[in-house]
Amino acid sequence: MDQRTLQPKKRPCVDATLLCMLALMAFGYLLLHDLLGGTLLSHSAWDSYTLQAMAWRRGSLSLGQNYPWLELAVYQGEYYVSFPPFPSVVLLPFTFLFGENTPNNLIIAIVTMATAALAYRCLRRAGMRETCAVLGALLLTWGSNLMWMSTNGGVWFMAQALNMFLLTWALHCAMCKRRVLAYALVAFAVGCRPFSALAFFPLFLFFYLQDRRPDEGFCKTALRQWKAFLIPLGVAAAYMWYNYARFGSVLEFGHNYLPEFTEAENGQFHLSYIFANLKNIFLRPIAFGEGLSLEYPVFDGFLFYVANPFFLLLFGQIVSDARHRQMDAMRYVLLAAMLLNLLLLCWHKTFGGWQFGARYTCDLLPLALAYLCLAKRQSLCRWERFAAWFGILLNVYGALAMNFLHG
């Protein structure tokens, strides 16, 4: 017998399935942007992050002038970006090549493709077959409201796309036991969407359970992670300094100084907003109008689990885990983080302006992916595959509708 036949087969260095998925997505973006007028390499003017990066290069914290089409904070006669700053850090290097005209449409498309690749890797590491992992990754990205957001590099969409990318990358790092990088990525995500700080709780528990020894108390085990805490503490200090330097408060990143909220009776956050927002995202549907035309609101959201069917997979997995008595501390903490994040989002005066679906709930999708990975499933069942294709079709339609019907 040939000795070579006795040697174990080596796994291919290149994942052809992953490359095919990314090629499909790249071709899809090329087609979509062609319909939008050849905008893939263009700069979206709804981009205050690039303007902030340009201001940094001038040595200024304020933008120096008003841009009426952007949501800018007005404080002591100066105009500031009213969103957390990390996306400007990402865009800063591009300003040296492109100036104010960064190719943010291309950047957000690449970020979304990277998110899909990481989601695929997470599902594969959790034991899922290649084809099902591809479908799950596409459902998370193209089958969610991220699909429409990823066609425009505007400020609101860039923040959410980067947040999803960073949290999904953090999940992959956690599964690979790269805890320092995982904690750092969550800290960067907080600089995109502040409520992502809730992801620290399941991340901490995940590594705590790995480190726990029978003869150790909670504090001693928790302190085994001290090296991983250093970067998040440094990043948090940088965020607080930046907030204080602009607005005199370590917790204020500018949204409270938007005219929309300074003129509101109850301000930006108030308990009275919660019920109305929950009602909208749980009960407000897509309806049929004359000639079977679709009717749906483009402000404050509609059924989030229809607009983002990955949540249907989450709900199904929760039911399965409860029925088979597989609920454990990790699952409970993930669900608690998602629920608290949702309530905090509903505490906000609006649940997203001009949008298709309920785009704020995309912030929860990486945690939902983490929950699904705990099941270590090999495949998706029939109804889950149907939900995935439904979500992809609906959100591709949404991307086109928001540009051609509501643009």
Give pLDDT tens digits for 31-41.
999 999 999 99
pLDDT band (50, 70, 90) for residue 3: very low
Q: Identity (one letter) of the amino acid at 394? A: L
Q: Which of 342, 346, 348, 340 is nearest to 268 (CA)?
A: 348
Measured between alpha carbons, how far is 139 from 152 in angstroms, rounded to an integer? 19
pLDDT band (50, 70, 90) for residue 6: very low
Asked if the model's pLDDT at residue 407 lies above 60, the reply is yes
pLDDT at 5: 46
Percent share of the chain, pLDDT over 90: 84
Higher pLDDT, 407 or 323: 323
Asked if the model's pLDDT at residue 1 lies above 50, the reply is no
Mean pLDDT of the chain: 94
Measured between alpha carbons, how far is 214 from 226 in angstroms, rounded to an integer? 20
Q: Do the beta carbons of residue 284 and residue 297 sit within 8 Å? A: yes
Domain assignment present for residue 100? The answer is: yes
> What residues contact residue 28 under an 8 Å CB cut-off, 6+ apart?
142
Asked if the model's pLDDT at residue 214 lies above 90, the reply is no
Domain assignment present for residue 2? The answer is: no
Asked if the model's pLDDT at residue 61 lies above 90, the reply is yes
pLDDT at 7: 52
Q: Identity (one letter) of the amino acid at 202? A: P
pLDDT tens digits along 225-257? 999 999 999 999 999 999 999 999 999 988 888
Asked if the model's pLDDT at residue 86 lies above 90, the reply is yes
User: Mean pLDDT over residues 281-298, rounded?
Assistant: 92
Q: What is the DSSP letter of 80?
A: E
Asked if the model's pLDDT at residue 385 lies above 80, the reply is yes
Alpha-helical regions (H) of 126-178: 130-141, 146-149, 155-175
Domain assignment present for residue 218? The answer is: yes
Give strand pairing partners of 288: 294
Q: What is the largest CA-CA distance in the chain?
A: 84
The beta-strand segments (E) located in 234-377 are 287-288, 294-295
Asked if the model's pLDDT at residue 4 lies above 60, the reply is no
pLDDT at 202: 99
Q: What is the DSSP letter of 69?
A: T
Provide the CB-side half-sphere exposure for 369 (13 A, CA): 37
Domain assignment present for residue 8? The answer is: no
Instruction: Categorise residue 7: left if φ over 0, alpha if ψ from -120 to 50, beta otherwise.
Output: beta
**Total domain count for the chain?**
1
pLDDT tens digits along 122-148? 999 999 999 999 999 999 999 999 999
Domain assignment present for residue 6? The answer is: no
Q: How far is CA 157 from each of CA 107, 141, 185, 329, rounded to the nearest angstrom?
A: 11, 13, 19, 33
> What residues contact residue 86 under an 8 Å CB cut-off, 6+ apart?
162, 188, 189, 190, 191, 192
- Expressed as residue numbers, the domain containing 203 is 15-404
Higher pLDDT, 3 or 80: 80
Percent share of the chain, pLDDT over 70: 96
Lowest mean pLDDT among 221-230, 235-244, 255-264, 284-293: 255-264
pLDDT tens digits along 341-373? 999 999 988 888 889 999 999 999 999 999 999
Higher pLDDT, 191 or 214: 191
pLDDT at 167: 99
Task: Determine whether 281 is exposed, middle or buried from the number of CB atoms within 10 Å of its CB (0-12, 13-18, 19+).
Answer: buried
| H or E stretch covering 260 | helix 259-262
Q: Which residue has the tokens 């040939």?
A: 2
* Strand-strand pairing, 72-75 and 294-295: unpaired
Domain assignment present for residue 1? The answer is: no
> What residues contact residue 172 under an 8 Å CB cut-off, 6+ apart?
118, 121, 122, 125
Domain assignment present for residue 269? The answer is: yes
Measured between alpha carbons, how far is 154 from 44 in angstroms, rounded to an integer? 6
Higher pLDDT, 267 or 31: 31
Q: Do the beta carbons of residue 148 and residue 140 sit within 8 Å? A: no
Asked if the model's pLDDT at residue 108 lies above 80, the reply is yes
> What residues contact residue 266 under an 8 Å CB cut-off, 6+ apart?
272, 273, 349
Domain assignment present for residue 219? The answer is: yes
